[in-house]
């Protein structure tokens, strides 16, 4: 196996995956309220991708400002 890793090595910048996870959670909530789970998950994934892209853009802008 990989063994122990330093905290810096474990840190990832997977903003798209984070956004999709958040979007699905929100979409499932809307889907249950609207009694249409499939629609809620679809909308949630779309929102999640948008959230992930915006978060990635913010990270890129903040990294370029530091340099």
- Tell whether 52 is covered by a domain: yes
- Tell whether 5 is covered by a domain: no
- Tell whether 7 is covered by a domain: no
Confidence (pLDDT) at 49: 93
What are the pLDDT tens digits along the chain (67 aa)?
A: 566 666 655 556 688 888 899 999 999 999 999 999 999 999 999 999 999 899 888 888 877 766 6
- Tell whether 59 is covered by a domain: yes
Instruction: State both tokens at 37.
Output: 């789970």
Domain span at 37: 14-66
- Tell whether 57 is covered by a domain: yes
Please state the domain count of the chain: 1
Q: How far apart are CA 19 and CA 9, in angstroms?
A: 21
Residue 26 C-alpha from the chain's centroid: 12
pTM: 0.70
Beta strands in 1-67 (DSSP E): none
């Amino acid at each position: 196996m990989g063994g122990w890793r330093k905290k810096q090595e474990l840190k990832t910048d997977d903003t798209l995956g984070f956004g999709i996870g958040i979007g699905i959670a929100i979409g499932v909530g809307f889907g249950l309220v609207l009694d249409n789970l499939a629609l809620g998950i679809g909308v949630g994934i779309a929102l999640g991708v948008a959230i992930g892209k915006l978060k990635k853009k913010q990270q890129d802008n903040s990294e370029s400002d530091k340099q």
